[in-house]
Amino acid sequence: MLVAAWLLVMLTAASAVNVIIQNHWAGGFQGQVDIPVTSELHGWRVHLTFDQDVSSIEVWVADAQKVSDREYILSNKDFNADQHVGDTLSFTFLGHGTGDIAPHTEAFVEGMGTGGGTVTNEPVTVPPRTNAPSSGGGTSNKNYGDALGKSILFYDAQGSGRLPANNPIPWRGDSALGDCVVGGWYDAGDHVKFGFPMASSTTLLLWGLIRFKDGYVRANQLDMMYDMIKWPLDYFLNAWNPQTRQLVVQVGDGNADHAFWGRPEDMTMERPCFRLEPGKPGSDAAAETAASLAAGSIAFKDKGDTAYAAQLLTAAEVCTRSPRTNRGIYSQSIPNAANFYGSSGDKDEMCVGAMWLYKATRNNQYLEDAKANHENAWGWALAWDDKKVACQLLLFEETNDAAYRTEVEGFFQGWLPGGSITYTPCGLAWRDKWGANRYAGNAAFAALVAAEDGIQTARYRSWGVEQINYILGDNHHDGGCFSFQIGFGTKYPRNPHHRAASCPDRPAPCSHEQLDAPGPSPQLLVGAIVGGPDAQDNYVDDRKDYVLNEVATDYNSGFHSALAAIVHLQVTDNFPQTNNRCACNQ
């Protein structure tokens, strides 16, 4: 039996396909496997063999088993077990190793001859994973991958709880260890943990990771992104108690917190815990939390962390049962939240939550739930309290129903030039004075997703990239080339409305005096997006002006995922033509 098995492997290996290595970098590489199917398969096992040591691999359409540093066996998922003669078994994978390696790689399917393949290890263009037509031909002088990495650092700076040993923010330490739920993100420049916008931000960030993972690979930020996004997901797992059906949706009193100016490490005030429970409904916040958990399960299943993915999905499915039977607005149950993040309704969150659960499980009941909560209306914006266009986009992706496409186009009819949105002289789509950059960044991400879905691809790609270009410097503030992302380029805000960044290094004291202190903040809040300009492109870098200089986890979320989308366009040679009115050419 052992001899026969050995002979079978040797015979199939004799007709192995040479795998194309598309990209490589320090510590990893990306490969593309394309194996012609020459016999009917009802379940398959693919052997990958390398001529250099590969410490681990990540693959999203198969389960990976490590045989040695030179060989891995990939087994089919349930959804792709059947392969037919004439098909091509295709997938990409990431390999991790030491140094900048691009190993010669071969693949073969057990028991099936492959008929050879192209012998090359030269990088090639990765084809788009969409039905969107090509819209390439543009060029850019911006390092979007650098901006993406910096945005991850901003989220790291917002971490609450016991920070990990690899914490990259030297001026941040452990804080709020006595909270009812430890961990998570501080919301903005303050120290409240508002669960609803935290979940909304997490879902939007995960959407970008799932859809544009190759952007993170090209930017060499994939591991950092997984590390960053796990922080709020761990928090949500601890915030939800399935036995008591209680969900913590806020830690800290917003009013008491805003009276304190100092480091989170130095807080001494009471930090009350606000929960949803039977009799205190919050289907909007609960559904959004379920959405982030379900999206997280998809992302970490793709990563290969199946145990964590299963934990997230189980929590998401249990958490979503409560809002289906216990409808109500969370900020009516939690009056303290209403002063800061009052919700206007729950149907959009119910739809988005159901859609991510459908994507994670393929259970049609979730798709029907989403349709039942869908609203045939144009969203005011894509934001923590308005996810109509997200619901419509997700439904269109899964159903290809033209009615949902029309609704998405209606949203952008209002947002693109000629619609109802005000445009600044340099071209920012200016929705509101509170977080103008936030709304533009979120809409840009939605446009780039819609473009990938084949909706007005060329137009939406150009517009989405132009909005991000404005934020990163295509404006005339301070003589031009001013980035509203801190740390990007050479000119950017130095005085965000952020308590911890305004404090000198410990053990020096920090108090309200730092709010009024002249000069740049002692700590550079790398990666944060400040609120942005007024409708005339005017902006003042003033810590006390919290309208223009507030930062928040939701301010960065759509901008962040739009960056991943833009790097994806560069990877696939689909970067569009752009025409920013105040283009920075430095």
The catalytic site residues sit at: 541, 550
R_g of the chain computed on alpha carbons = 24
Joined together, the tokens standing for residue 549 give: 């200089």
Joined together, the tokens standing for residue 124 give: 């090639």
Cβ atoms of 382 and 558 within 8 Å: the answer is: yes
Residue with tokens 């909706």: 455
Q: Phi and psi at residue 320, in whole multiples of 5°?
A: -75, -15
Nearest to residue 123, comparing CAs of 578, 443, 572?
572
Termini Cα distance of the chain: 68
Residue 224: helix, strand or coil by DSSP? helix
Cβ atoms of 330 and 249 within 8 Å: the answer is: yes
CA 263 to chain CA centroid, nearest Å? 27
Element (H or E) spanning 193, and its range? strand 193-194
Element (H or E) spanning 430, and its range? strand 429-430
- Looking from the CA of 233 toward its CB, the CA atoms found within 13 Å total 29
Joined together, the tokens standing for residue 185 give: 């993100």
Cα–Cα distance for residue pair 14/409, rounded to 1 Å: 52
DSSP state of 478: G
Q: Is the peptide bond before 507 cis (omega within 30 degrees of 0)?
A: yes
Q: Phi and psi at residue 331, in whole multiples of 5°?
A: -75, -10
